[in-house]
């Protein structure tokens, strides 16, 4: 990645952070904003100053509110930069915790596939969740693909050919 690419991603993070700071002010909520660049995309995290109960309201059940806020942050970035954004937003470490739970679920599915030799379909997941599973399956040397249409799109894990 070039310095220019990195600078563009940092600008995305800054634009998203400005939007999110305004949102936190409007909602009268406290939180620190951390900006980083990981795996070729801007990442913004809202971290609780103290107890994260308030911030959990911004995550919602199963992360639906977080997904909506991520979409809004991406639109704010696009409005400021004129470019589409692949920005990732995390609030109160929800995605980090979810990533670990999904990785464990993927490892259990991999064990089932290795034991039975048959393909195993996992429950429906959003794009972020499917990406986590695909990465774990690839690392284990098996094959995975997404099937179905949202909101029922899911990952199917198969033995390697």
Looking at residue 127, its pLDDT comes to 84
End-to-end Cα, the chain, rounded Å:
33
Burial 43-64 (b: 16+ CB within 10 A, else e): bbbbebeeebebbeebbeeebe
Q: Domain range spanning residue 13? A: 3-92
At residue 52, the pLDDT reads 61
- The angle, 0 to 180 degrees and rounded to 10, between the axes of the packed helices 94-116 and 127-139 is 50
> Which of 64, 92, 120 finishes a domain?
92
Q: Are residues 73 and 108 in the same domain?
A: no
Neighbours of 116 (CB within 10 A): 10
In order along the chain (161 residues), what is the average pLDDT of each group of 10 residues? 76 96 93 91 88 82 91 96 93 90 96 96 91 95 95 94 77
Are 59 and 108 part of one and the same domain?
A: no
Alpha-carbon distance values, 40 to 12, 43, 87, 142 (Å): 12, 9, 10, 25
Same domain, 27 and 75: yes
């Amino acid at each position: 990645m070039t310095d220019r690419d990195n600078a563009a991603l940092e600008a995305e993070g800054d634009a998203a952070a400005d939007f999110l700071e305004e949102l936190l002010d409007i909602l009268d909520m406290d939180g620190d904003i951390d900006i980083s660049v990981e795996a070729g995309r801007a990442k913004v995290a809202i971290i609780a100053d103290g107890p994260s109960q308030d911030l959990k309201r911004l995550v919602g059940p199963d992360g639906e509110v977080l997904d909506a806020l991520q979409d809004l942050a991406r639109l704010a970035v696009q409005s400021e930069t004129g470019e589409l954004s692949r920005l990732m937003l995390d609030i109160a470490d929800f995605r980090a915790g979810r990533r670990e739970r999904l990785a464990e679920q993927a490892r259990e599915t991999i064990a089932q596939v290795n034991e039975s030799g048959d393909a195993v379909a996992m429950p429906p997941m959003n794009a972020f969740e499917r990406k986590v599973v695909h990465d774990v399956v690839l690392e284990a040397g098996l094959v995975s693909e997404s099937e179905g249409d949202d909101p029922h799109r899911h990952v199917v894990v198969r033995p390697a050919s």
